[in-house]
Amino acid sequence: MTHLPRRSVLAGLAAGSALALSPIRFASAQTSAPVKLGFQLHRTGIGAGYGRWYERVALGALARVNAEGGINGRPVEIVFEDDGTDPKRGAEVVEKLTTRHGCDMIFGPLFSHVVIGSAPRAAELKVPYLVCSEGYHVAAGMTNRWTLQPGITDVRAQVSAMAPWVTQNLGKKVTMVFPDYAFGHDHRDFFSEAVAAQGGEVIAKIAIPPTETSFTRYFPQIPTDTDVLYHVMVGPSVLTFVKELGEFYGSGARPQIFGFIDSLEGVDLASPGLDFLNGSHFWEGQCRNKQPDAPDYETAYRAAVGVDDNGASLSDARDVSTYSHMFSVWETLSVIKKGMEASGYQSTADRQKFVEAVEAMTTFEAGLDHVQGAKTFNGKTHQAFGQQFISRVEGGKLIRVHTTELEDGLYPDEVDYTAQSF
């Protein structure tokens, strides 16, 4: 007898009650055994703030898929395993989900080092590994044929798509503040390149050490002729960074401020000390505050994952979601469903057919399957590309001021996974 994690039992119950309430029958399937999906979850460790929301979105998406008849006529269940946001444990979790729980495929990780540490094992076990990470590692060729990122645009494309609007609307002389590790370096390299292409210039690059918890002393390095201050920070100290930036400029003159919402993902913009952000701009993967023209499917998505119009939990208004990233979990499950249906997936013997089916996909229509918006999918690089948003902070709310085109972030292919063997 295998012990199931409590959460997956809950998920199963949720799925079961959805079945009981709806007239759907899973009769058409050759087997009625559930499709088993493994979820590599950052439940503890540095990624726990994201992990909690990824789990909620996964459960919301699961309930929807089951209410609509499951996959290939079979009910779906998700097995969650904590990876501690650690690459070593991450690889072990991939093994456990595959060889012990017998999952058909695995999805869900966000942090880059976990993805890169786990991907080799996924390839060895020949199990599809669908990541929700926004990292550039998939499209850069660091992973393998079994690793795909169909649910979220990668950092390189996000960053490149921002540059035209920033240089045209905020200014051409940019100073960048970023964490001194791979995620920050991707921002540094690709944004600098994109700004230069627009005739602008990055005049200073301030790399913050990864262990830093106090930031004021780095601010004097921001040149006084800076037009735009570009910031992207991650981790629990981000709020300190933003607050100290506010204290530093105080009531004095300051450049335009453009940030990646990663700096404040999961943080209430009404937190003490953040009022100075009023009038500054943010990249958003999906608009946290519901916009007036929000389509119906986004409203349905918010309800399904338990998020209100401000992007906070329905049960606790102070519990702000990771709204710009977590849609990737929802959309990845949609892609899993489509891929399994397109490949006629029946059992783990069809895993390769599944990967080939996803590689053959080219576009995703906006709708309840793809709530963040329409996307193109590049089967060669295993990477999806969607539109991005720029929002302005007004009275503690993020108001969208610009939507990028899909083409804005595209770049030449760096890898062709379809040429690799399985």
Partner 1 sequence: MGTGPLLLLASLEGLVMAAVLALAAVGLSLTFGVMRVVNVAHGEFYMLGAVLAWAVAQFVPSAPMGFVAALIFAPLAVGALAWLTDTALLKRLNYNPESTIVATIGLSYLLQQGALSFFGPDARAVQAPFELRLQFPWFGYSGYKLFVIAAALAVLAAVWWILSRSRAGLVMRATQVDRNTARAFGINVDRVYAGTFALGAGLAALAAVLIVPISQAHYLMGHDPLLLSFIVVIIGGLGSLRGTLIAALIIGLSDGILSMLYPPTLAKILATLVVALVLVFRPQGLFGAKA
Partner 2 sequence: MRPALLHIGVLAALVAAGFLLPAYQHGMLARILVMAVFAMGYNLAFGYTGLLSLGHALHFCAGMMATGLAMRHGLAAGPALILGLAAGTATAMLTGLLALRTAGVSFMIVTLMFAQAFHLTLLYYGGFTGGDEGFPLPSAARRLFGLDLTQAGPRYAVALALFAAGLLAQWALVRSRFGRSMIAMRENEERSRMLGYNPFTTKLAALALSGLYSGAAGAAYGLLFGYVGASFGTSQYSILPLLYVLLGGAGTTLGPLLGAGLMAWLIDAASSLTDSPLAVIGITLIVLVLFAPKGILGTLREKGLKWLP
Residue ranges binding partner 1 (CB under 8 A): 44-46, 48-49, 51-52, 180, 207-214, 216-220, 224, 236-240, 243-244, 247-252, 266-267, 271-273, 319-320
CB of 394 to partner 1, least distance (A): 21
160 is written with which tokens? 């490149």
Instruction: Please list the alpha-helical segments (H only) found in 250-322.
Output: 296-305
Which of partner 2, partner 1, none does residue 25 bind (CB under 5 to 8 Å by kind)? none
**Does 236 sit near partner 2 (CB under 8 A)?**
no
Which one, of 292, 297, 285, lies nearest residue 404 by Cα? 285
**Is 55 strand, coil or helix?**
helix
CB of 221 to partner 1, least distance (A): 8
Q: Strand 375-378's sheet: what is its strand order?
A: 76-82, 35-41, 105-107, 129-130, 147-153, 383-386, 375-378, 363-364
Amino acid in the structure at residue 48: A
Contact 319, 313 (CB under 8 A): yes
**Does 285 sit near partner 2 (CB under 8 A)?**
no
Which of partner 1, partner 2, none does residue 67 bind (CB under 5 to 8 Å by kind)? none
Strand 173-179 versus strand 201-208 pairing type: parallel
Of 123 and 358, which CB lies nearer to partner 2 in the complex structure? 123
Instruction: Tell me which H or E stretch contains 342.
Output: helix 323-342
Of 110 and 162, which CB lies nearer to partner 1 in the complex structure? 110
The string of DSSP codes covering 241-255 is HHHHHHHHHTTS---
Q: Which one of residues 180, 193, 319, 356 is an interface residue with partner 2 (CB under 8 A)? A: 180
Which of partner 1, partner 2, none does residue 238 bind (CB under 5 to 8 Å by kind)? partner 1
Interface characters, 107-126, with partner 2 (x: CB under 8 A)? -----xx--xxxxxx-xx--
Which of partner 1, partner 2, none does residue 5 bind (CB under 5 to 8 Å by kind)? partner 2
Which of partner 2, partner 1, none does residue 82 bind (CB under 5 to 8 Å by kind)? partner 2
Amino acid in the structure at residue 38: G
Identify the bridge partners of residue 404 per DSSP, sorted by sequence position.
none
329 is written with which tokens? 């979990």
Distances (CA, A) of 126 to 97, 105, 118, 347: 13, 9, 12, 13
CB of 313 to partner 1, least distance (A): 10
Of 136 and 323, which CB lies nearer to partner 2 in the complex structure? 136
Which of partner 2, partner 1, none does residue 281 bind (CB under 5 to 8 Å by kind)? none
Which of partner 2, partner 1, none does residue 214 bind (CB under 5 to 8 Å by kind)? partner 1
Q: Which one of residues 14, 73, 96, 376 is an interface residue with partner 2 (CB under 8 A)? A: 96
Identify the bridge partners of residue 403 per DSSP, sorted by sequence position.
389
Question: CA 236, CA 215: separation in Å to the nearest integer?
Answer: 13
CB of 112 to partner 2, least distance (A): 5
Of 135 and 200, which CB lies nearer to partner 2 in the complex structure? 135
Of 151 and 184, which CB lies nearer to partner 1 in the complex structure? 184
Question: CA 225, CA 353: separation in Å to the nearest integer?
Answer: 56
**Does 43 sit near partner 2 (CB under 8 A)?**
yes
**DSSP code, position 370:** S
**DSSP code, position 381:** T
CB of 115 to partner 2, least distance (A): 9
Of 182 and 270, which CB lies nearer to partner 2 in the complex structure? 182
CB of 208 to partner 1, least distance (A): 6
**Would you tell me how many other CB atoms lie within 10 Å of the CB of residue 143?**
25
Largest CA distance in the chain: 70
CB of 54 to partner 1, least distance (A): 12
Q: Which one of residues 38, 51, 86, 284 is an interface residue with partner 2 (CB under 8 A)? A: 86
Which one, of 359, 331, 330, 329, lies nearest residue 343 by Cα? 359
In the chain, the N- to C-terminal Cα span, in Å, equals 33
Return residues touching partner 2 (CB under 8 A): 3-7, 43-44, 81-82, 84, 86-89, 91-93, 95-96, 99-100, 112-113, 116-121, 123-124, 135, 137, 142-144, 180-183, 185, 209-211
